[in-house]
């Protein structure tokens, strides 16, 4: 009887946590337009903190709750709660923040990813009919969007470095049409330490407004984590 109660409780908790995750995604997508930047920033912080809740659920109901849905009916997944909001936030981060170079960003992401590998190795069951060998590594890889969002947002949103302004001439522009997304790029004259012909990624709006021969203003900051990033005016 006690096992039935635990199973029922786990099922209810997993459903509630996943539902909250869906509501968080909606809040994240529409808060900026409906309520302004302050409410959006609160949504971002909430999404970054939220994975702690499904992780605690995994710890409490270790043998009943799982990350992804298995074959048996008594295992209840919280994958939506863990991966859904961070994935949406990662996409928004790619749209809103532009880094000069992603080398250091990749290193930071790997460090955070290794932390999740260790964490999942302690949380997930190591035996059972549905246990996958090295499943904690697979689970950690699903946290890549979270790692990316965390690193970039910490670097850019909490950056207190001085803004460096560079007026630069647009030489050309091009876009890359992918299967699921588009990349907009400008080819620029020399600016700062960048040689003539250097390229930067921009938003679709900036791309559409830019014309060869026009001058744009690049506002460059050094980043809290040492990853230079820029905005264009």
The CATH number that applies at residue 204 is: 2.40.50
Q: Are residues 143 and 43 in the same domain?
A: yes
Q: Which tops the pLDDT comparison, 44 or 58?
A: 44
Convert the pLDDT of each residue in 98-146 to its tens digit.
998 889 999 999 999 999 888 888 877 654 444 555 667 777 888 899 9
Same domain for 100 and 175?
A: no
- Identify whether residues 58 and 92 lie together within a single domain: yes
Q: Is the pLDDT of residue 194 over 80?
A: yes
The pLDDT score that the predictor gives to residue 8 is 79
Residues 117 and 33 in one domain: yes
Do 153 and 169 belong together in one domain?
Answer: no
12 and 94 belong to one structural domain: yes
Q: Is the pLDDT score of 209 beyond 50?
A: yes
19 and 57 together in one domain: yes
pTM of the model as a whole: 0.84
Six token digits for residue 90: 């990662």
* 93 plus 120 within the same structural domain: yes
Record the tokens describing residue 97, joined without a space. Answer: 């923040």
Percentage of the chain beyond pLDDT 90 is 43
Query: Do residues 70 and 115 both lie within one domain?
Result: yes
pLDDT > 70: what percent of the chain? Answer: 90
Range of the domain at 132: 2-157
Contacts of 78 (CB under 8 A, 6+ apart): 14, 17, 18, 54, 57, 58, 65, 66, 67
Residues 19 and 26 sit within 8 Å (Cβ to Cβ): no
The reply to whether 133 and 222 lie within a common domain is no
Q: Are residues 138 and 195 in the same domain?
A: no
115 contacts: CB under 8 Å, gap ≥ 6: none
Residue 197 pLDDT exceeds 60: yes
- What local confidence, expressed as pLDDT, does residue 11 receive? 85
Residue linked to tokens 């700062």: 192
pLDDT score of 73: 57
- The more confidently predicted of residues 34 and 214 is 214
pLDDT in tens, 165-181: 999 999 999 888 877 77
C-alpha–C-alpha distance, residues 203 and 198, integer Å: 17
CB 232 within 8 A of CB 217: yes
Q: How many structural domains compose the chain?
A: 2
pLDDT of residue 75: 73
Q: Are residues 105 and 184 in the same domain?
A: no
**Alpha-carbon gap, residue 213 to 11, rounded angstroms:** 61
* Whole-number Å distance between alpha carbons of 163 and 82: 35
Pick from 97, 127, 157: which residue ends a domain?
157
Report how far apart, in Å, the C-alpha atoms of 29 and of each of 65, 104, 181 are. 28, 28, 17
- Listed in sequence order, the residues at least 6 apart from 161 whose beta carbon sits closer than 8 Å to its beta carbon are 221, 222, 223, 224
Query: What would the two tokens of residue 22 be?
Result: 């869906």
From 136, 157, 178, the end of a domain falls on 157
Answer with the one of 124, 157, 190 that is the final residue of a domain. 157
pLDDT at 60 (0 to 100) = 84
């Amino acid at each position: 009887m006690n096992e039935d109660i635990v199973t029922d409780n786990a099922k209810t908790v997993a459903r509630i946590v996943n539902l909250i995750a869906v509501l968080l995604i909606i809040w994240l997508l529409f808060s900026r337009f409906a309520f302004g930047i302050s409410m959006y920033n609160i949504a971002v912080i909430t999404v970054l903190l939220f994975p702690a809740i499904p992780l605690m659920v995994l710890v409490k109901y270790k043998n009943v709750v799982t990350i992804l849905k298995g074959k048996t009916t008594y295992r209840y997944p919280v994958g939506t709660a863990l991966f859904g909001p961070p994935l949406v936030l990662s996409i928004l981060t790619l749209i809103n923040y532009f880094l000069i170079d992603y080398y250091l960003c990749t290193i930071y992401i790997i460090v955070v990813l290794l932390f999740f590998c260790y964490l999942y190795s302690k949380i997930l069951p190591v035996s059972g009919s549905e246990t996958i060998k090295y499943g904690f590594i697979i689970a950690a890889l699903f946290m890549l969007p979270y790692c990316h969002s965390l690193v970039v947002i910490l670097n850019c949103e909490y950056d207190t470095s001085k803004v460096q302004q560079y007026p630069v001439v647009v030489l050309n522009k091009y876009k890359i049409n992918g299967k699921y997304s588009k990349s907009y790029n400008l080819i620029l004259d020399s600016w700062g330490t960048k040689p003539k012909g250097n390229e930067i990624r921009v938003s679709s709006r900036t791309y559409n407004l830019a014309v060869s021969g026009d001058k744009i203003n690049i506002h460059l900051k050094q980043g809290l984590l040492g990853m230079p990033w820029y905005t264009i005016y």
